Amino acid sequence: MNTVINCAAYSGGRRVANVEIDDISQVLKQPDKFVWIGLQEPSEAMLQQVQREFGLHDLAIEDAHRAHQRPKLETYGDSLFIVLRTAQMNHEQRCIDFGETHFFLGNNFFISVRHGSSLSYTEVRARCESTPHLLNKGPGFALYAVMDSIVDQYFPIIDALEDELEVLEEEIFGEESGKETTAQIYHLKRELLRVKRAVSPLIDICNRLMRLNPELIPESIQPYFRDIYDHAIRINDMVDNERELLNTVLEANFSLISQSQSDVSKKFAGWAAIIAVPTMIAGFYGMNFTFMPGLDWRYGFIAVLLLIIGSAISLYLLFRRSGWL
């Protein structure tokens, strides 16, 4: 697997040359150029080589190699280290596949390191190269372009989760709910929580990027990060709204289940009462007493039988009218 996806030098917003890893330090000495390199799950040896060429901090390289980091922004001297969570919807398994992308940003370089599930940034690089007047703003604009692409990937995920929520609502109020519906609700709650944990730190990261040293993030680029900030706020609000609605759906599901169980209990109680009356009457006449009403009457058996049938029908109609049966 080729861990170096792309490595190129840019000048005036245009790609001027593809660069080998060993030649990066020589290119960085030229003040009018910056290097943009993309890596995918690089080995420790590759990261150490990149570290030597760019002069990166040991702790940042260690985090980039281990992955499984929380979203964050850290400053190491004259460079930045940023971690973002990427996400893609897995429609076959009905879950979200999360990955990570780590960024190193300096005055004359931009490095992206992909781990796990993540779309290629080749298309993002192509869009940047098609607008040299924007890419001429430097590595900061490349950072914005990739971050914007990552954040935009969350919108179709939120839409897919919202569709799942609508299906759950139809199942619950369509009297098709059960244990599987409750399990799906908890699964959706867990997915929304994972999205929340991935998106929430973006708000603070964008805030800090808009206030960083102009040498790293020029003032002309800071408004672009405000756009990402607005998108992150919007996604965060959408997740919060869906979580609140999902809590309401869960409560409604429990209420309907409880009501269903209560209806079943009422039916059992109603039929038990209907059966209890004939049992009681038959029990009286099953006693071994000499003197009991109707024993010597010619129509006593028929009268008792009619009493039993009439009592059962009366109770059935009463419970039926009250909604117990």
Q: Is residue 222 part of a domain?
A: no
Last residue of one domain, picked from the residues 93, 113, 129: 129
Instruction: With beta carbons less than 8 A apart as the criterion, state whether 45 and 65 touch.
Output: no
- pLDDT of 249 over the 90 cut: no
Q: Is residue 239 part of a domain?
A: no
Q: Residue 256: CA atoms inside 13 Å, Cβ hemisphere, count? A: 18
- Tell me the per-residue pLDDT of 182-203, one tens digit each, with 9 for 90 and over: 788 888 888 888 889 888 899 8
Report residue 195 as tokens: 């999205």
- pLDDT of 93 over the 90 cut: no
Distance between CA atoms of residues 166 and 172, nearest Å: 10
Distances (CA, A) of 26 to 21, 35, 39, 45, 83: 10, 11, 20, 20, 27
Q: Is residue 64 part of a domain?
A: yes
- pLDDT of 1 over the 70 cut: no
Q: Is residue 195 part of a domain?
A: no
pLDDT at 242: 86
Rounded to two decimals, what is the model's pTM?
0.76
Please report the sign of the dihedral spanned by the C-alpha atoms of residue 265, residue 271, residue 276, residue 277: positive
Instruction: With beta carbons less than 8 A apart as the criterion, state whether 158 and 242 touch.
Output: yes
- Tell me the per-residue pLDDT of 14-37, one tens digit each, with 9 for 90 and over: 888 888 888 888 888 888 888 999
Q: Is residue 114 part of a domain?
A: yes
Last residue of one domain, picked from the residues 94, 129, 164: 129
| Structural domain count, the chain | 2
Read off the CATH number of the domain in which 283 is found.
1.20.58
Domain that holds residue 96: 1-129
- Residue entry with tokens 């330090």: 25
Read off the CATH number of the domain in which 11 is found.
3.30.460.20
Distance between CA atoms of residues 65 and 86, nearest Å: 17
Q: Is residue 139 part of a domain?
A: no
Nearest CA among 115, 117, 116, 118 for reference residue 102: 115
Last residue of one domain, picked from the residues 105, 129, 153: 129
